[in-house]
Amino acid sequence: MNALDRLTALFSRLPGIGKKTAGRLVYHILEGDPVYARTLADELSGLHGAIRRCSACGSFTETDPCPVCADPGRDRSIICVVERAQDVPVIEESREFRGLFHVLGGLIAPLEGIGPGNLAIGRLLERLRGGEVRELILALNPTVEGDTTALYLQKLVEDMKDAERGPAQVEVTRLASGLPVGGDLEYADRLTLSRSFRGRVKV
Amino acid sequence: MNALDRLTALFSRLPGIGKKTAGRLVYHILEGDPVYARTLADELSGLHGAIRRCSACGSFTETDPCPVCADPGRDRSIICVVERAQDVPVIEESREFRGLFHVLGGLIAPLEGIGPGNLAIGRLLERLRGGEVRELILALNPTVEGDTTALYLQKLVEDMKDAERGPAQVEVTRLASGLPVGGDLEYADRLTLSRSFRGRVKV
């Protein structure tokens, strides 16, 4: 295997990149400026050393705690729970949310052998016991796994309230599910449509 | 800009990779084995040093001449002319062709300012003057640029014959154009259909 084939094989291990696309990328890099290839190489080799997980929320960061957790301007009474660390920048870009985050690191999926014990749920409960949090926004995908995890977390918070170990009032909410903005009613699936009916709001 | 954003920006400069896809790749690499990232980095930084162009045919290779040009088992009387170096492995994989290659490095495209002088045509004529070549297979894309380049090369070879400077008999052929195997007549465009009629063969 020569250098071209080795690099093509490595690229094709990335998600969504097949052998053909990988080859195209390699030829593009080869025909381009060697400085680009070297810069890309440097960033890749430094990536795991530069990025760690925030010890508070679990998102990817260069500093610990992460810029969001360290920002005194953020609302510490609301925690937005996400599945993966890459969901954090997506929500940050919408500029809709000014609270803190919590990365679960997955969703409950019994068929894949992922139970609550595999997720950062214990650490989430600890944060709730601090007493500062008033709302938990579950920004989980509207899928079976997302629904299961949302129900599980909601139940846990209820139990905490009953046992009076936690704060008296932590409201658990979930992102609205419905028609995507700019979407077409005609192309909406049955479940999305049914959810958008149940969640209808006053104009 | 942190390490994540820098790497995302670099990836999104690759063809067909937008900002979203780039981000997904970076997170995938970050969550994966650091050994993979380092191996990818090593291969990238070594790429331009390891791969050069074959001085005979112009394809990418680790050795000069390339394995195809150096192979005594290849038929030196047939040269397959391709647009780009990456077309060579595509044709090699089909195992249909046992001759040599010649990489033009582009196609004649006056609107983009690419004329015959920008292509490796002079070197191709030199190879023909050697007298060993009997057939020139033009494996160029069936596009306006491919057609223009094919006509230009055919004319050049004719002129060579007239001037009696070259070999008496160099046949210039072109890859058949028509319906793709497994394709559907219904979805064929008018031009492809018309070419497949003109190039029809006996069953």
- Return the pLDDT at B107: 95
pLDDT digits (tens, 9 = 90+) for A74-112: 999 999 999 999 999 888 988 889 999 999 999 999 999
Token pair, residue A69, equals 């957790």
Distance CA B64, CA B42 (A): 23
- Return the pLDDT at B119: 96
- Return the pLDDT at B190: 83
- Residues whose CB is less than 8 angstroms from the CB of residue B189 and which lie 6 or more positions away in sequence, other chains included: none
Phi-psi region of B16 (alpha: psi -120 to 50; beta: other; left: phi over 0): left
Task: Give the count of beta carbons closer than 10 Å to the beta carbon of residue B61.
Answer: 24
- Gyration radius of chain A over CA positions: 21
- Return the pLDDT at B168: 59
pLDDT digits (tens, 9 = 90+) for A159-173: 887 776 555 578 999
Distance CA A178, CA A195 (A): 6
**Which of A40-44, A116-120, A155-159 is least confident?**
A155-159
Distance CA A34, CA A24 (A): 16
* Chain B contact set for A2 (CB, 8 A): 50-51, 61-62
Report, at the CATH architecture level, how domain B3-50 is classified: Orthogonal Bundle (1.10)
pLDDT digits (tens, 9 = 90+) for B73-96: 999 999 999 999 999 988 898 888
Whether A111 contacts chain B with CB within 8 A = no
Helical spans, DSSP H, in B65-174: 67-70, 87-94, 121-129, 144-163
Q: ipTM of this predicted complex?
A: 0.79
Mean pLDDT of the residues in chain A = 91
Query: Are the Cβ atoms of B44 and A25 closer than 8 angstroms?
Result: no
Whether A94 contacts chain B with CB within 8 A = no
B190: enclosing H helix or E strand:
helix B190-198
What DSSP string describes B118-143? GSTHHHHHHHHHTS---EEEEE--SS
- Residues whose CB is less than 8 angstroms from the CB of residue B89 and which lie 6 or more positions away in sequence, other chains included: A23
Query: How would residue B164 be classed by pLDDT, with cut points 50, 70 and 90?
Result: low
Whether A138 contacts chain B with CB within 8 A = no
* Chain A contact set for B14 (CB, 8 A): 25, 28-29
- Gyration radius of chain B over CA positions: 21
Query: Are the Cβ atoms of A45 and B27 closer than 8 angstroms?
Result: no
The one-character DSSP state at B112 is G
3-class SS shares of chain B: helix, strand, coil, % to 5: 50, 15, 40
Query: Are the Cβ atoms of A62 and B3 closer than 8 angstroms?
Result: yes
Q: Which of residues 1-40 of A touch B (CB under 8 A)?
A: 2-4, 6-7, 10-11, 13-17, 21, 23-30, 34, 36-40
Domain ranges of chain B: 3-50, 55-198
Query: Are the Cβ atoms of B45 and A41 closer than 8 angstroms?
Result: yes
Q: Could you please state the CATH topology (level 3) that the domain comprising B55-198 is classified under.
A: Dna Topoisomerase Vi A Subunit; Chain: A, domain 2 (3.40.1360)
| Residue for token pair 């894309």 | B141
Contacts 24+ apart (CB under 8 A), A176-181: A177/A142
**Which of A126-130, A147-151, B122-126, B174-178 is least confident?**
B174-178
